Amino acid sequence: MGYQRLLDDRVVLISGGTMGVGAATAIAAAEAGASAVVISGRRPDKAEPTVARIRDAGAEALFVQADVADVEAAINTVEATVSAYGRIDCLVNAAAVVDRGTLLETTPEFFDWHVAVNLRAPFFTMQAAVRDMLARQSPGSIVNILSTSMHVGQTILAAYVASKGGLAHVTKNAAHAHRFDRIRINGLNIGWTITEGEDAIQRKAHGATDGWYAKAAAGMPMGKLGQPDEIADFIVFLLSDRSGVVTGSIIDWDQNVIGALD
């Protein structure tokens, strides 16, 4: 993608920015002209390659170690961003857990873990980011990474679907609340995407072996799974002024058409 400096001089925070879609978005934001890109995650060793690529693209980079299941740690990622760079212009909530469990298998603890990471953390990072934008009377842009599974989802993802469905409605509610503050908030429902995390869970939960991706890709309409760099391009566009007045939108980024039947 020719980024055309779509995020010129923006300060961008990406939760879950050490791997997968979050890492791809962090690098894309730097290539799009962001002055600083902050990523959060649990493991410093996973952050190092992404931090290096952000800097190679010409932006300042900061890693904030955080397990966003701890709401104070989630809020601190925004506070650390503002402390380091004076403001936050863009926020991407990409951190998520997607473990397996049906309605009957899900324990309260398992349910609460999904809600803590996938719903509560984005809620309160948005709150902190919006407070900074309002204090500066400055516009801003937020993108929440959702999932096409929120429409109904697989039966083995009961808690995940609940958390992502909740985040979709939080996204629209917050967008409505702050539209006259010129803070745009949108959500992206991504379909089946190939990431390090997806590879690990396919092997752990489904017994996948080497070659599983080629078989899965062959069964998809476009002959491949979603690619993190392609999703990152779309996120950068949504964060940027080039996406115009769009706010409160929940966009299905997938190759299967939701609700369609053959």
Q: Report, as residue numbers or ranges, the catalytic residues.
A: 160
Name the token pair of 182: 């010129």
What's the count of helices (H) and strands (E) in the chain, helices before strands?
A: 9, 7
- Which secondary structure element, helix H or strand E, spans residue 75, and what is its range? helix 71-85
- Between CA 43 and CA 10 the distance in angstroms is 25
* Residue that the structure tokens 């409160």 belong to: 248
Name the token pair of 186: 């949108």
Name the token pair of 204: 């752990």
Burial class (CB in 10 A: 0-12, 13-18, 19+), 208: middle
> Count of CB atoms within 10 A of residue 95's CB?
28
Q: How are the residues of the chain apportioned to helix, strand and coil, as percentages rounded to the nearest 5?
A: 50, 15, 35
